[in-house]
Structure 1
Amino acid sequence: MSREQRAALDSLLRNGPLDVGGDHLKQREVFTRMLTSRPPAEDVVLTPGTLGKVPVLEVGIDGVTPNGTLLWFHGGFYVFGSARASAGLASDLARRTGTRVALVDYRLAPECPYPAALDDAVAAYRGLLDETAGGDPARVVVVGESAGAGLAAALLVRAREQNLPMPAAGVLFSPYADLTLSGESMTTKTAVDPAFTPDAVAVRAKDYVGAADPADPLISPVFAGLRGLPPLLIQAGSNELLLDDAVRLAARAAADDVQVTLQVTPGVPHLFQAFAAMLDEGETALGQAADFLRATRGPGCGADVRQAEV
């Protein structure tokens, strides 16, 4: 069944309406429609709020008392996306881990290029630490998808530089972590990536970088020193242009003595976890992420709500 599922997803993405390199205003609308076409599950509770004066969307599961917070950064090449557009994927992991999610609506490029998104991420993280009982970072996990995963990695580096306490862990789904676009997979995976092209990604990279240097470690964390960061889980699919972003980020973390787990799933595209409803590999990857959080944060984290209801 998985082969048929992968083929169906590949066709869906290749024939979809999103043009990553197109007019950013039009493509924002397309991106949002794609990711919000299915309403959240009936037990998902969405509550607008703020952290550090940055807008967030809190995601909870009805009837579940959360045992921690996932500070979540959405994807979209820093140009598309929103907290609401990522609520489905975020609620899935929240349900598996018994946590709440704070989805950050950081400012988007090209209207607000670097460092706007990073400034918002740091402000939200500081706000969450202030809100958390006793400022306990052990109750916080930083999560990101695609550009949000690159932003999450940059946040951890900036937080370390500012001597802020580290969260319990970081979970990075298909990180967009090299805006110099120098990874080999940017050329070797062009035939199998069903959603992106190098030219389209280059357009969006320029939007975010603006007048800055794309090799700045806080723009491209593959070039950052990662020593002192918390345990990391990095997941990617083998059929994505950004595969080398994940592989090199994990290698950099390992070289800097960071506890890191890299999981590359063969034959699946960028951010395949978002398609868990139709793809067995996505379901498996989210289960692995929940297992990682249980192991990282201890036995008090991560009772699977679905199992508890049986």
Structure 2
Amino acid sequence: MASERSQMVRDHWRSMTEAAVANPGQTPEEVRERVERFWPALTAEPGGVDYLEVEVAGRPALWAVPKGAAEDQVVFSVHGGGGVSGSIYTHRKMFAHLAKAVGARALLVGYRQEAYPVPLEDTTTAYRWLLDQGTNAGHIAVVGDSIGGGLSVSTLLRARELGLPIPAALMLISPFVDMTVSNDTFATNSTNEAFFYKEVVSFLASAYLAGADPKEPLASPLYADLSGLPPTYVQVGEHETLLGESLEFEQNAREAGVDVRLDVFPEQQHTFQMAAGYSPESDDALRRLAEWVRPKIGLG
């Protein structure tokens, strides 16, 4: 049974649903303001982490540096938010918890929340920037949640096209990788889901695509050739509507020869890891990610 603490994530998403029902004419700016105001409170401060604001190829970024962290290993972090909200600031604590557990620095990259392919151009440029700083690709792990998970996959696919070295590992948290919004779990999990109903995700996908083909591989990496991706770890909640595409992605990656692991967390909602420091399920999930990735980036 899910812990009482983990219910805070469900409560957050339910409050978003209630606000949408009560205010059907909300502008994107109003939705973004609500997320920016309430989302950070889901995550406890990790403690022992310093934050340094920097500019990466003209875009805002944030280093999260745990005390005693390795200098050479980096967790390249891509935040979610459906392409309409979220930022390096809403996600700084979650990614800092992960960085602290790994014992490495995290680089949180900002990207323009505009239609595809603009966000992908920004994340790919940021990844190239990190390599240009002299960081060994074998010491980089990429992580992303929700649409940031899809962007993380697409960034590596684009890096492959450009001939850039591929990082040592990829970690995906409730990844949004299918812009067709056609998986069966949008129906089968509709009574379990607290916010990401098919209508909501269809709206987000339409805004992100802005007319592009929903099966365009770099927009919907579920339909991409996944061969050559590094070892990949996918985490998803049992009760979220995006469960099905995580299951499909794991299968496609395995068939493409990728070393892939998938964990489905009972009774959990979309990006439940945001409750790190409060929820035992969130802390357990980040611990699993850290233990899995440490040897892959040379931390034993």
TM over 0.5: yes
- SS of structure 1 residue aligned to 2:4: helix
Native 8 Å contact 2:143 2:152 kept in 1: yes
Report the residue type matching 1:53 in the other structure: G
TM-aligned CA distance change 1:99 to 1:64, over 3 Å: closer
Displacement of 1:83 after TM fit? Answer: 0.6
Q: What corresponds to 1:260 in structure 2?
A: 260
1:254-278, CA deviations, whole angstroms, 9 ceiling, x for partnerless residues? Answer: 0100000011111110111111333
Q: What corresponds to 1:89 in structure 2?
A: 94
TM-aligned CA distance change 1:74 to 1:12, over 3 Å: closer
TM-aligned CA distance change 1:119 to 1:184, over 3 Å: same
Candidates 57, 60, 63, aligned match of 1:58:
63
- SS of structure 2 residue aligned to 1:253: helix
Deviates further, 49-58 or 174-183: 49-58
Q: Does 1:23 align with 2:27?
A: yes
Q: What corresponds to 1:122 in structure 2?
A: 124
Deviates further, 2-11 or 73-82: 2-11
TM-score (norm 1): 0.89
- How many residue pairs get aligned? The number is 295
1:140-160, CA deviations, whole angstroms, 9 ceiling, x for partnerless residues? Answer: 111101100000001111111
Map of 1:63-74 to 2, 5 A cutoff?
63-74=68-79
1:111-154, CA deviations, whole angstroms, 9 ceiling, x for partnerless residues? Answer: x2110000001100100001134xx2011111101100000001
Report the residue type matching 2:212 in the other structure: A
Q: What corresponds to 2:177 in structure 1?
A: 177
Displacement of 1:13 after TM fit? Answer: 3.1
Report the residue type matching 1:43 in the other structure: G
Deviates further, 37-46 or 22-31: 37-46
Any gaps of 5 or more consecutive residues in structure 2?
A: none
Displacement of 1:280 after TM fit? Answer: 1.7
Separation in 1 of the partners of 2:245 and 2:19? 22
Displacement of 1:284 after TM fit? Answer: 1.1
Report the residue type matching 2:82 in the other structure: F
Separation in 2 of the partners of 1:139 and 1:295? 10
Native 8 Å contact 2:76 2:142 kept in 1: yes
Q: What corresponds to 2:39 in structure 1?
A: 35
Report the residue type matching 1:116 in the other structure: V
Q: What corresponds to 1:195 in structure 2?
A: 195
TM-aligned CA distance change 1:281 to 1:160, over 3 Å: same
Displacement of 1:194 after TM fit? Answer: 1.3
Displacement of 1:58 after TM fit? Answer: 1.2
Q: What corresponds to 2:295 in structure 1?
A: 295
Map of 1:184-263 to 2, 5 A cutoff?
184-263=184-263
- SS of structure 1 residue aligned to 2:195: coil
Separation in 2 of the partners of 1:130 and 1:103? 17
1:10-50, CA deviations, whole angstroms, 9 ceiling, x for partnerless residues? Answer: 34432356649842110101111112336744422221112
Separation in 2 of the partners of 1:103 and 1:28? 19
Q: Does 1:100 align with 2:105?
A: yes
- SS of structure 2 residue aligned to 1:106: coil
Map of 1:136-155 to 2, 5 A cutoff?
136-155=136-155
1:211-263, CA deviations, whole angstroms, 9 ceiling, x for partnerless residues? Answer: 21111011111100000111000000011011112111111100100000011
TM-aligned CA distance change 1:39 to 1:237, over 3 Å: closer
Report the residue type matching 1:172 in the other structure: L
Native 8 Å contact 2:2 2:267 kept in 1: no
Separation in 2 of the partners of 1:257 and 1:64? 32
TM-aligned CA distance change 1:282 to 1:182, over 3 Å: same
- SS of structure 2 residue aligned to 1:85: coil
TM-aligned CA distance change 1:70 to 1:217, over 3 Å: same
Native 8 Å contact 2:218 2:224 kept in 1: yes
Separation in 1 of the partners of 2:175 and 2:202? 16
Native 8 Å contact 1:148 1:175 kept in 2: yes
Native 8 Å contact 1:193 1:240 kept in 2: yes
Native 8 Å contact 1:27 1:80 kept in 2: yes
- SS of structure 2 residue aligned to 1:66: strand
Native 8 Å contact 1:2 1:280 kept in 2: no
